[in-house]
Structure 1
Amino acid sequence: MELRDYLRILRRRWRLITVVALLVVSAAAAVTFSTTPLYASKARLFISTSSATGTSEAYQGGLFSVQQVASYAELASSRRLAETVIDDLGVAMTPKELVKEVSAESVPDKVLLDITVTDPDPALARTLAQGYAEAMTDLVRQLETPSGKTSAPIKATIVDAASTPDSPVSPQPVRNLTLGLVLGLLLGIGLAVLREVLDTTMKSAEELTDIAGAPLLGGIAFDTAARQQPLVTSLASHAPRVEAFRVLRTNIQFLDIDGTNKVFVVTSALPAEGKTTTAVNLAITLAQAGQRTLLLEGDLRRPRAADTLGLDNAVGVTTVLLGKVSLDDAIQKHTETDLHVLSSGAIPPNPAELLQSRAMGDLLARLREAYDIVIIDGPPLLPVTDAALLSHMSDGAILVVRHGRTTKDQVEQSIDRLTRTDATVVGVVFNMTPARRAGSYGYGYGYGYGYGYGYGPTTREPKRRLLPRRSPS
């Protein structure tokens, strides 16, 4: 990953990073302010040898003292010394408890020994540190005095007596909260990068066009009211969603400037990605621009376009292909616009066979001659092959990709399915994008019939009486 990739992740996942950082800082604050304050008092001892007459003897005595200091530091944590301090001071502690509060450290290459006692009571910390220092001088004298002698060649002298500390050494709020913030940011960034690596859904318009190998025709922002008001005719003329479909309409018109008749299939990788709503609103917007437009419901398994427009789907594509109803009688007109609609008709047991039949080719040819543009609401590409067959018979497919849901693999598989049938992908529509990005456009085949694209019978009740037909010729 390059630097700009990390910057993009930070910009996209800043909420996650902020939440994680705040949680870590909060945890650090809770631990810090619930911890009992500890005070440390330190006494310093100087380890020396008896006077030497010559320089060489003084040097050797100094080396000996340096070597002994490390041993004395180890003796500070001994049970014997702890018992001595307890007896001398009369404190109500066990040797084990006292040893936990004491630490001794020898200064490197020096003959200095620091004894530090940490305790919640600053006065007791000072008393224990001073008691330990005095006990250590006695212990050194006892250990270093040769048998039969009255004086030791090496002794410990207190050079800095223990003092009562003014402020606690633990906890340290500023340090803890700063470390918590740094660790929280690192953890948040790590989680953001991990989530970005594991998340293969489409979130970038540039990446989408690279994978699809087709231009971006438009971006439709996510609208919570779209489920209750799916049609652009129910919105104000200046609404952002309406403007988005106008941009899409304009880009569609520039796909083939020299062509006089256009037939496009609107499809998606999977259901619930907004292909039907996109197809219906695109057709409405084209009709509002004065173009002779027909919306053909090409999803013969789970048709939704006619229901969205409030039209009857009792007759349509299937009844026309079977010769039960003429094309003129099957075409309906949307009352609020000049859009003509050819619904699916009765659900057939063999949708794929009907769609790739010669009769279907003849039907598309007639519609191509009668209308300026024909929008086909096709089924999704991955569950079934119907959309690929329709795309092969049309001037190209418009692939609808849902932001944050459609994965890169699904887009690649969809493009592959279209190219295998020699269909052309004329462009992609980025659907349900975050509102701030819409204006700037950014598993195998286990889908099967689990998404409801089976052959089971579907019972429907007519929506309303058929409106008067208008001849396509």
Structure 2
Amino acid sequence: MELKDYWRTVRRRWKVILLCLAVTVGIASALTWTATPQYSSSARLFVSTSPSDTADAYQGNLFASQRVTSYADLVDGRRLAGRVADELGEVRTESELRAAVSASVVPETVILQISATDPDAAVARDIAQAYAEALSELVPELEMPDEGGGSMLIKASIVDDAVVSTTPVSPQPVRNLGLAVVLGLLLGVGLAVVRELLDTSITSNVDVEAVTATPILGHINADQNAVKKPPVEALSSASPWAEAFRVLRTNMQYVEVDHDHRVFVVSSSLPGEGKTTTATNLAITMAMAGQRVVLVECDLRRPLIADRLGLDGAAGTTSVLIGKVTLEDALQQYGETGLQVLACGPIPPNPSELLQSQAMTAMLQDLRRRFDTVILDAPPLLPVTDAALLTAQADGAMLVVRHGRTTRDQLQHAVERIENVDAKTVGIVVNLAPPPKSRQGYGYGYGYGYGYGYAPTAAAAQTARPASDAGRRGRARRRGTDPDTD
């Protein structure tokens, strides 16, 4: 990963970083404010030699320097702890004393510092002072020559008595919270990078290009206001969401240009990626531009188009395939948009057999002759084979992927399903894509601003014009639906 990749990861995963920061600061705050304050007190001893026992001052100082390190080790011993415990009485046990006291040698000196820590400042003072006195008495005993009559070789003198401290040495709120902030940021950034490396969902054009060379025909952003309106009204408005479908419509003009009458399958890898909404809105947008378009419900397992457009779903694709009604009678017009819709009809027990039947082939040929563009809303590719069977009879499939949910493996398997039947994928549509923050809106003469760059292909450079007057006559017809579900 490059530096810009880390920055992009921080921007995308900022919630994870803030969560880790909040957790670490919270834990540090709880531990800091619930901890028992500890007070520390220190006494200092000066270790020296007798002049009569040394040849000169330098050798005496060297001898004392070697000895003082050994005395520091004696502070942690049981002998001194026993003496101090006897002197202090039942204030602290030997084990508690050994855990509370420490000794250190001031570098390049013969000064020994004994420190004691305790929740009671007075007790800490007493422990440090008692240890200093006990050590000063123990040193002559250890250094006294075995042969009587001689003077002691070295002695330890108390130069600074222990005093009561009014400021606790722990906890330290500023230090603890500062360390918590640093640790939280490190953990948050680390977790964000790990999640980014392990995340296989499609979140950019690069992710799509890593799977397939199929061009990206459009990016449909999320718009909660648009989905609450009837489709024809939402698509007639001057909004980025409606403009995204106009850009998609423009890009579709460059797909299969050698065919005057085209048949496209709209599908996805799994349910919930927005293929039905994309197919429906694309068909309406194309019809509003004056094209002869028919939208065919080929999801015979979970049909949604009739309910979303407020049409009669009693007769439709299955009715035509079994010869119950004619194609002419089954087609319904959606408002005044000019869009013809073939609903599902009764749900059959054998959808796959119907979709690969001779009757289906004949119906598609009839629809191809009647209309400029035939859009088939097919089931998802991975759970069932219906969409692959339809793509083999069409000019190609347009795959809808959901930003941040569809994974690269799922898209790859979907493309492979289509290629296995000697068909092709004509384009990719990224659904529910967040608009980049870097886009700057710019206004048009008819009074709205929208972000540019919805489609990265060369075709996207030609901005689609607003719907024609004939297409705008069908406003405010039926209830809208949520593109988040299908």
- Structure 2 length as normaliser, TM-score? 0.83
The answer (yes or no) to whether the contact 1:218–1:429 under 8 Å persists in 2 is yes
Contact 2:256 2:395 in 1 (8 A): no
Using the alignment, how far apart are the partners of 1:308 and 1:123 within structure 2?
80
Residue 298 of structure 1 and its aligned partner are, at CA, apart by: 1.6
Counterpart in the other structure of 2:322: 322
SS of 1:433's equivalent in the other structure is coil
- The structural deviation recorded for 1:294 is 0.6
Q: Quote the offset at 1:188 in angstroms.
A: 1.4
**1:70 maps to which residue?**
69
Structure 1 counterpart of 2:128, one-letter code? A
Q: Deviations over 1:129-161 (max 9, x none)?
A: 233222211111122112424631011122333
- Aligned match of 2:402: 402
Instruction: Report the equivalent of 1:106.
Output: 105
Distance 2:308 2:267 in 1: 16
Moved more, 350-359 or 211-220: 350-359
Contact 1:211-1:408 at 8 Å conserved across structures: yes
* Distance across 1 between alignment mates of 2:59 and 2:150: 22
1:16 aligns with 2:16: yes
1:142 is paired with a residue of what secondary structure? helix
Q: Does the CA contact (< 8 Å) of 1:232 and 1:242 recur in 2?
A: no
Once the two structures are TM-superposed, the CA of residue 234 in structure 1 deviates from its matched residue by 5.3
Structural mapping, 1:145-224, within 5 Å? 145-147=144-146, 148-149=148-149, 151-224=151-224
Q: CA deviation at 1:110?
A: 4.0
Per mean C-alpha deviation after superposition, the further-off stretch among 341-350 and 222-231 is 222-231
SS at match of 1:71: helix
For residue 144 of structure 1, what is the aligned residue in structure 2?
A: 143
Q: Output the CA distance in 1 between the equivalents of 2:217 and 2:322.
A: 36
SS at match of 1:190: helix
- Offset at 1:431? 1.3
- Which residue pairs with 1:348 in the alignment? 348
What is aligned with 1:279?
279
Greater mean alpha carbon deviation, residues 136-145 or residues 39-48? 39-48
The farther-off stretch of 162-171 and 178-187 is 162-171
Q: Distance in 1 between matches of 2:287 and 2:193?
A: 45
SS of equivalent residue, structure 2 residue 211: helix
Q: 2:75 corresponds to which letter in structure 1?
A: A
User: In the alignment, is the contact (CA less than 8 A) between 2:235 and 2:242 conserved in 1?
Assistant: yes
Q: For 1:82 and 1:134, locate their aligned partners in 2 and report how far apart those are by CA, in whole Å.
A: 12
Q: What residue identity is the alignment partner of 1:402?
A: R
Distance 2:232 2:404 in 1: 23
CA distance in 1, matches of 2:374, 2:139: 102
Counterpart of 1:215 in structure 2: which amino acid?
A: P
In structure 2, the residue matched to 1:246 is: 246
Q: How does 1:254-333 map to 2 (within 5 A)?
A: 254-257=254-257, 259-333=259-333
Q: By how many angstroms is 1:176 displaced?
A: 0.8
Specify the alignment match of 1:373 in structure 2.
373
Deviation, 1:166, is: 4.5
Q: Deviations over 1:415-434 (max 9, x none)?
A: 11111122221111111233
Q: Measure how far apart 1:281 and its partner are.
A: 1.1
Unaligned segments of structure 2, at least 5 residues = 440-450, 456-486
Distance 1:84 1:236, change over 3 A: farther
Q: Are the structure 2 counterparts of residues 27 and 119 from structure 1 closer, same or farther at C-alpha, using a change threshold of 3 Å? A: same
1:378 is aligned with what amino acid?
A: A
Aligned residues between the structures: 441
What's the counterpart of residue 471 of structure 2?
none
Q: Distance in 1 between matches of 2:400 and 2:391?
A: 14
How far did residue 291 of structure 1 move?
1.0
Note the alpha carbon deviations across 1:209-265, whole angstroms, 9 max, x for none. 432322222222234467765735357712443222222222222334454322211
1:159-197 per-residue CA deviation (whole Å, 9 max, x = no partner) reads 333344353221111211111011111111222223333
Indicate the RMSD between aligned Cα atoms, in angstroms.
2.7
Distance 1:230 1:30, change over 3 A: farther
Partner of 1:130: 129
Contact 2:143 2:153 in 1 (8 A): yes
The residue identity in structure 2 corresponding to 1:361 is T
Q: TM-score, normalised by structure 1?
A: 0.85
Contact kept in structure 2, 1:287 and 1:293, CA below 8 Å: yes
The more displaced of 344-353 and 288-297 is 344-353
CA gap of 1:193–1:284, structure 2 versus 1, over 3 A, is: same
- Native 8 Å contact 2:235 2:285 kept in 1: no
Change (3 A) 1:235 1:295: closer
- The CA distance in 1 between the partners of 2:125 and 2:181, in whole Å, is 34
Larger displacement relative to structure 2 (408-417 or 4-13): 4-13
The alignment-based identity, stated in percent, is: 55
Q: CA deviation at 1:75?
A: 1.7
Q: Pick which of 20-29 and 366-375 moved more.
A: 366-375
Q: Confirm or deny: 8 A CA contact 2:226 2:241 kept in the other structure.
A: no
